[in-house]
Structure 1
Amino acid sequence: MLEWKALYMAENEVNRYSQSQSQTPVPAHEGMTIVDLLSILRKHIITIAVTFVVILGVDILYTAMSPVAYTTTTQLFATYNSSNDSANSSEQYSGSSYIMSQIKSYPDLAKTQSVLQPVVDELKLDTTPISLASQITVTNPTNTAFVNIAVTDADPSTAARIANGVAASLSNVVEKSLYTAGSNSAVKLSIVQPAQVPTKQSSPKWSLNILVGVLGGLIIGILAALLKDVLSKKIQDESDVTDIVDAPIIGRVVKDDILAGSSPVVVSEPGSPIAEDFRRIRTNLSFSTPVEGTNCRLVVVTSAGASEGKTTISVNIAAALAEDGPRVLLIDADLRHPSVAHKIDIDGSAGLTHVLSGQAAVKDVIQRYWKPNLHIIPAGPKPPNASTLLNSPLMTTLVANAMQQYDYIIIDTAPMVVANDAVIFMKQGGTLEMVCRRDQTLKRDLHEIADELETLDMPVTGVIINCAKENKKALENSNYYYYSNSSPAEKNRKNRKS
C-alpha cells in the first residue's frame, strides 16, 4: 500500500465558474449538405433496403395478380356526304366546318346505348352496354376528322371483333339515324383502319411497373430513412454523436455478456476482442497531455444519462492501463450512486465519503486490486451532501496529492443530467471522456450537456461509444478475429454463440 503525503488544508473554498457568464450563442442551423444526406442514408441503409424490397415486392405481386388484357384500335374518318354530286367549293367548305363541329361529340356518342346495344346483340356478348362502355376508349385527335376506337379485352380476338363492331355501329348511327330520320346525313364515317387481333398483351405492363416499383422503392426508402433520422431521439451510431459533440471517438466497445462479469475483461478474458477494445482506448489515452507540473494524466469519465455504462468503462480502462505497468488510481466519485465496488466485487463500506467528511484517511480506504500498481478508492456510503463534499478543498487536495503519486487517475463521476461533478475535476487539468451508449443516450441530453460544457469552456475531450455495432466483416476471413490466446471460457462462449 502506498503511503501518501499528509493531507493539508487548501484555500477556504474552490474557485467556481460563474453561472452568470455570457451564454455562447447557438449557431444557426446550416442547411443539410450532400455529405450530411449521404451520412444519414448510410446510417439507415437497412431501413432503405427493407423499404425498397417491400415496395418492389408489392409492385411485383400487384403486377402478377393483375388480369392480362389485350388492346386493339379501329380508326374511322369523317367526310362530308353531299347529296349533290357537283357540290361547289363553298358547300364543301361549309360541310367541313360542320363535320369539325360535330365530330367532337362522337367519342361520347360511341359509348351510348344506341351504338353499343346493336354490338352486344350482333356479337352475342355476355355483357351490358354500360359494362361494354368501360372497355372502350374513343378519341378524336385535335383538329382532325379521325375517330379512334380502342377496345380492351382479356381475349385478343374478342377485342378486335368488338372494336370493328363498335366502329360499324357508330358509322351506322351517324349516317342513318342521328340527324335526319329516313335519309342520309351530311356526315359519313368510313373505317380506314380495321382493328387487328393483337399479338402482345397491353396490360399488365411489366417493364413500366417494375421501373415504377424501383423508383418508388428508392424514393420511399430515402424518405423513410430521413423520417426515421428526424424522429430518432436516441443515439444510433457515431455520426449521431459527432454531429452534436465536437470531439474524437477514442474507443468503441461492442455489447457483450462478458462485460456484465464482476471483473474487468483484461483480467477475466485477456485474449478476447473486448479486451482489445479497451487496450485501444488505453493507447489513445496515452497520447493525452499530462496535468501541468506532473507526469499524471487525469481522466474524468462521465455520461449524459444513467445506465450508459460509464462505470463499466471506467473499471475496464483502469485495468487496461494497469496491465501495461503504469501506476493507476480509480476513484469512484459518483457519490449519488456508488457502483465501482459492486462492479469489481470489493468492499465498498468505507471510501471517499469518509475521507471527505474527515472520518478516515486515504490510506484507510484505498484498496489494491489485481496488480500492485492498480489502486481503488470506492465511494463508500451515499452522503446527503454529495455536491458539497466533491466541491470541498479536501477533494481538491486529495486529487492534487494523487497526481504526484500516480501515472493515471481515472475518476468515475455522476451522469451529467444528474450533476456536473465532472467539471470539478476538469478544473484541475483533467480530460473529459464522454460515454455514449447506442440506443440509450438521448440526443436532447447530449445537446444540452455539450452546450453547457462549451459555455464553461470545458469541452468534451473524447467520446467512447458503448454497445457499438460489431463489425465482423472486416475480420471474418482473417486469423485475427479469434485470438489464439483466448481463455477456455472465452472459447466456450464463442462456441455457444456460433
Structure 2
Amino acid sequence: MEFLDYLRLVAKRWKAIAVITLLTVGVAFGSAAITTPLYRTHAAIFFSVADGDSFAEVAQGATYSQRQVVSFAELASSPLVIDPVIRDLKLNTGSDDLKKTISASIPTDTSIVNLSVTNPSPERAADIANALAKQLQVASFKLSPKHKNGEAMVQATVTTPAVVPEAPISPSLKINGVVGLALGLGLGLGFAVLRELMDNKIRHEQDVQGITDVPVVGQLGFERGIAPGRWLLLGTPMATRRSTEEFNKLRLNLQFVEFAHETRVITVLSAVPDEGKTNVAINLAISMAQSGKKVLLIDADMRKPSVATGFHIEGAVGLTSVLIGDVTFPEVAQPWGETSLDILPAGLLPPNPSDLLDSQVMNSLLTELRDQYDSIIIDAPPILPVSDGFILEQLSDGILLVVAAGSTSKDRFAKACQNLEKFDAHVLGVVINKMQAQMREDAYYSYEAAGSGAPTRSGTQKFAVTQHGKRKLVRVEPHGTSDSGDSQATSVEDADVPTR
C-alpha cells in the first residue's frame, strides 16, 4: 500500500480508528486511576579518606575508597545493611522484598553512592532511605581497614539525607495518556489495515483498478427511501438531482470512450445477479433520450426480465415473440411517454433463451434496428451464471460492466473480467453501482442540472434556447413578484451557443 492508500484507508475507517484510540486511552487512564501510586526518594553518601599519620597512609586510603566504592554500593542491598533497617523500623516485610525496592548508583568518577528507595508511602520511603544510609555508614566502618589508632581509613558521610517526596513517580497520567494515544492509534491503524486486507468486496474505484485496466466510467450512489418494487426513473419525481447528474456524467463519459469508433449497440451486464444492471440500462437509455437521441432499450434477460416492471408497462409480448415470429418489432415496441425512447420488453420466458439469442433472427433484428436508432441499449443476464451475455457481446459494439459496491466480491469481478477477456470482448467501461456517499470521488460536490432552475437571491436562473439558435440566460422571478401575481422571466444575457 502506498501513502495515498493509507490516507484513503484512514478516511474510510476513521470511526473505527477513533473508537479504538479512545478506548485505549480510556484504559490507560483507568489503569492509572486504580494503580497504587509509588513514591521515590534519594539519599547520597560520600566516601572519603581519613587523615593518616603519613603520606603513604593517606594515599593508601584514597586508592582504597575509589576502588571499593562499587563494593559499598553493593553492600547497600545486602542483609548486613537491610536486616538492621527492617529491625529498627519494624517493617512488615522480608529482606528479599525490601531489596527489590532499593537501588544504588555511582556517578562517574566519584566516590558517592546514591541510594534510591521506592515505596507506596512517601514517609516510609524517606525513613527507609535514611535508615539505609545510616546502616551503610556502620557497615563501611566495620569493613574498612583501620589505622594504628583504630580509626577507619574510609569514612562514610551522608551528604544528602532523604526527604519526603511530594509527588508519585508512577502512575503518570501524562505518560499513560501519551502511551495510550500512541498504542490506540497503532491498534486502530492495524485494525483498519487488517480489515482492508481481509475485505474481499469491491467498494471503490481503486479496487476496480487493481483488477482490470478498463476505465471506470460511472459511479452511481445508493438511493435510499425507495419503496420495494419501485424503480428510480430519470425524468420522474422520484429521480433526485444527484442521480440525474450521475447518469448524465455516465452518458458523457461513454461519448468520450466511443469517440474512437462508432458504438451504437451497448450491452449492459454484470458478473452476478442483484448488482443493479437493469437500473443502469434503464436510466442510461433515458439519459440518452433526454439528450436528443433516438434510443431503443431491449430487455434480453429472458431468464429474469425486469425492464417492463421498471417502466410499469406490459411485458407479456416482446423480444421472445419477435424472435419466434409471432409478431413484428413495430407491433411490440412501446414508446415511453413523449420521449424518443422505445422499449422492447423480454416477453414470455422461453425454455431455450441461449438458442434464441444466438439465432440468425436475432442477428438480423439488430442489424435492421441499427438503421432506425441512434443508440440501442441491451439489458443482458449476468455472465457468471449463464452464457447469454457472451452471445449478446458478439452482437453488440461494446460492453458496459456493472459492479455493486459493497456486495460483489473481488474474486467474482475478476472472474467476469477474465471471461470477457477470453472472448476478446470490447468493454467500454465499468460502472460502480450502489456506492455510499463517502466512497464516491465527487461526494462533496453537487451540481444543478442544466435547466433545473438553480435558486438565486432574486429568483431562479434558467437557460432557454431562442429560435435563432442562441441560448439566453433568463431569471424567473418567484411567484407573486409581478403585478399580475405570475412568475416573470427577465432576459439577462445572450450567448452564441449552438443548440443540439
Length-normalised TM-score, structure 1: 0.75
Tell me the distance in 1 between the aligned counterparts of 2:122 and 2:453: 71
User: 1:255-274 alignment to 2 at 5 Å?
Assistant: 255-258=223-226, 260-266=228-234, 267-270=236-239, 272-274=241-243
1:284 aligns with one of 245, 250, 253: 253
When residues 193 and 473 of structure 1 are mapped into structure 2, their CA distance, relative to the original with a 3 A threshold, is farther
2:355 aligns with one of 379, 388, 411: 388
Q: CA deviation at 1:83?
A: 9.5
2:137 corresponds to which residue? 171
Q: What amino acid maps onto 2:104 in structure 1? A: V
Q: CA deviation at 1:71?
A: 1.7
Q: What amino acid maps onto 2:84 in structure 1? A: P
Conserved 8 A contact 1:74-1:191: yes
The answer as to 2:7 corresponding to 1:33 is: no
5+ residue gaps, structure 2: 456-500
2:75 corresponds to which residue? 106
Conserved 8 A contact 2:217-2:250: no
1:214 aligns with one of 181, 186, 191: 181
Conserved 8 A contact 1:99-1:187: no
* Deviation sequence 1:208-228 (CA, Å, 0-9, x none): 333323332333222222211
Q: CA deviation at 1:449?
A: 2.4
1:326 aligns with one of 293, 305, 314: 293
Q: What amino acid maps onto 1:379 in structure 2? A: A
Conserved 8 A contact 1:271-1:484: no
Tell me the distance in 2 between the aligned counterparts of 1:52 and 1:229: 18
Tell me the distance in 2 between the aligned counterparts of 1:339 and 1:422: 16
* Deviation sequence 1:404-448 (CA, Å, 0-9, x none): 111221111122322454444444453322222221011111222
2:282 corresponds to which residue? 315
Tell me the distance in 1 between the aligned counterparts of 2:17 and 2:426: 35
1:445 corresponds to which residue? 412
The answer as to 2:249 corresponding to 1:249 is: no
Q: CA deviation at 1:233?
A: 0.9
Tell me the distance in 2 between the aligned counterparts of 1:356 and 1:85: 129
| Secondary structure of residue in 2 paired with 1:71 | strand
Tell me the distance in 2 between the aligned counterparts of 1:138 and 1:353: 96
User: 1:446-461 alignment to 2 at 5 Å?
Assistant: 446-458=413-425, 460-461=427-428
1:353 corresponds to which residue? 320
When residues 444 and 270 of structure 1 are mapped into structure 2, their CA distance, relative to the original with a 3 A threshold, is closer
Conserved 8 A contact 1:327-1:407: yes
User: 1:359-370 alignment to 2 at 5 Å?
Assistant: 359-370=326-337
2:114 corresponds to which residue? 148
When residues 479 and 107 of structure 1 are mapped into structure 2, their CA distance, relative to the original with a 3 A threshold, is farther
1:275 corresponds to which residue? 244
Tell me the distance in 2 between the aligned counterparts of 1:457 and 1:144: 85
| Secondary structure of residue in 1 paired with 2:226 | helix
Of 52-61 and 329-338, deviating more is 52-61
2:89 aligns with one of 123, 127, 136: 123
When residues 264 and 97 of structure 1 are mapped into structure 2, their CA distance, relative to the original with a 3 A threshold, is closer
Q: What amino acid maps onto 1:310 in structure 2? A: K
The answer as to 2:30 corresponding to 1:61 is: yes
When residues 168 and 282 of structure 1 are mapped into structure 2, their CA distance, relative to the original with a 3 A threshold, is same
Tell me the distance in 1 between the aligned counterparts of 2:448 and 2:172: 51
* Deviation sequence 1:41-86 (CA, Å, 0-9, x none): 4443333333333333332333344343332212234567899876
| Same amino acid, percent of matched pairs | 31
Q: CA deviation at 1:343?
A: 3.1
Tell me the distance in 2 between the aligned counterparts of 1:344 and 1:298: 21
Conserved 8 A contact 2:48-2:62: no
5+ residue gaps, structure 1: 1-31, 487-498
Length-normalised TM-score, structure 2: 0.75
